[in-house]
């Protein structure tokens, strides 16, 4: 048991070491987005399990359809899926637009996404390993950007930096659809809200996802609604719609303002 524990710690140390190397040695202050925080999406098991796990409470087809309709994407247009995960949206979008740039920091998630695209015989998806802070969009600015359940992996300072980078990848007048876990409850009552979130998740989805909710709150970086709204503004996006589904989930539809960033 003890040897197992030491081995686990060793593996974690090596993993962090290689992640740090991968992120580049200089400057030493750069946030390492390749290193997972909270749920470990770099794990092959987590990636393989992802669709089944999320499929318990999400309808990926319906989500994709709604996002495409909201963005008004057509077959001449391009879209970046930032934090594409196992590729559900990217594969759906590829059938409706000219090109999809599917970007994720996790090799394991990208492997599943590539497999999905191959199975669907789609050849208009470009996969890139990278993220909000490291992906370089070398093509023309995209018509739209989508990012679902990803931004909370960055602390606030890096969220704004990442959003400003996204704004530069998006054409003026282009759209951003961003869905994330964002806190909009009264902060003085955080304990009861968070307890209720965990409890209702356990009832609706099951204990494994309730445990993920706890990890999310403890180790990931969800922020306040008013912080998010200020960030879009400062990143060069105007919010068109903010759909607060409850105290924790929000979908924003934004337009890239004309000003240069
Ligand atoms: C909860 S999953 C969401 C995946 C997919 N967008 C979806 O809606 O199913 C979070 C994903 O974000 C990726 N990720 C984490 N930090 C990231 C970053 N800084 N930039 C891009 N992707 C990131 C993870 O590897 C993981 O695939």
Q: Quick one: which of 126, 143, 169 has its CA closest to 68?
A: 143
CATH of segment(s) 44-256:
3.40.50.150
The string of pLDDT tens digits covering residues 185-202 is: 999 999 999 999 999 999
For a pocket test of ligand 1, which of 102, 128, 137, 153 has the largest count of ligand atoms closer than 8 A to its C-beta? 153
Location of structure tokens 């559900």 = 88
The string of pLDDT tens digits covering residues 70-86 is: 999 999 999 999 999 99
pTM value surpassing 0.75: yes
The string of pLDDT tens digits covering residues 198-229 is: 999 999 999 999 999 999 999 999 999 999 99
Q: Rounded to an integer, what distance in angstroms lies between the CA atom of residue 198 and that of residue 188?
A: 18
Q: List residues near ligand 1 (CB under 6 A).
A: 33, 41, 54, 82-85, 88, 104-106, 109, 131-132, 148-150, 153-154
Tokens read off for 84: 């594409």
């Amino acid at each position: 048991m003890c040897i197992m524990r030491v081995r686990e710690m060793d593996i974690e140390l090596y993993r962090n070491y290689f992640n740090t190397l991968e992120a580049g040695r200089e400057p030493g202050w750069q946030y390492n987005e390749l290193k997972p925080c909270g749920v470990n999406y770099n794990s092959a098991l987590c990636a393989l399990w992802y669709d089944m796990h999320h499929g318990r409470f999400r309808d990926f087809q319906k989500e994709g359809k709604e996002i495409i309709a909201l963005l008004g994407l057509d077959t001449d247009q391009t879209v970046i899926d930032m934090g594409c995960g196992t590729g559900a949206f990217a594969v759906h979008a590829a059938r409706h637009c000219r090109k999809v740039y599917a970007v994720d920091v996790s090799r394991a998630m990208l492997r599943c996404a590539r497999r999905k695209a191959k199975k669907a015989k789609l050849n208009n998806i470009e996969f890139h390993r990278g993220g909000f802070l490291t992906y370089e969009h070398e093509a023309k600015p995209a018509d739209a950007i989508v990012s679902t359940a990803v931004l909370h992996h960055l602390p606030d300072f890096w969220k704004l930096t990442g959003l400003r980078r996204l704004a530069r990848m998006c054409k003026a007048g282009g759209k951003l659809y961003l869905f994330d876990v964002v806190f909009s409850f009264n902060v003085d009552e955080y304990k009861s809200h968070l307890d209720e979130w965990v409890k209702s998740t356990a009832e609706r989805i099951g204990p494994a996802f309730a445990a993920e909710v706890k990890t999310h709150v403890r180790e990931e970086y969800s922020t306040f609604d008013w912080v998010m709204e200020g960030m879009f503004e400062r990143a060069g996006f105007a919010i068109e719609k903010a759909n607060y589904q409850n105290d924790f989930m929000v979908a924003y539809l934004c337009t890239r303002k004309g000003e240069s960033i």
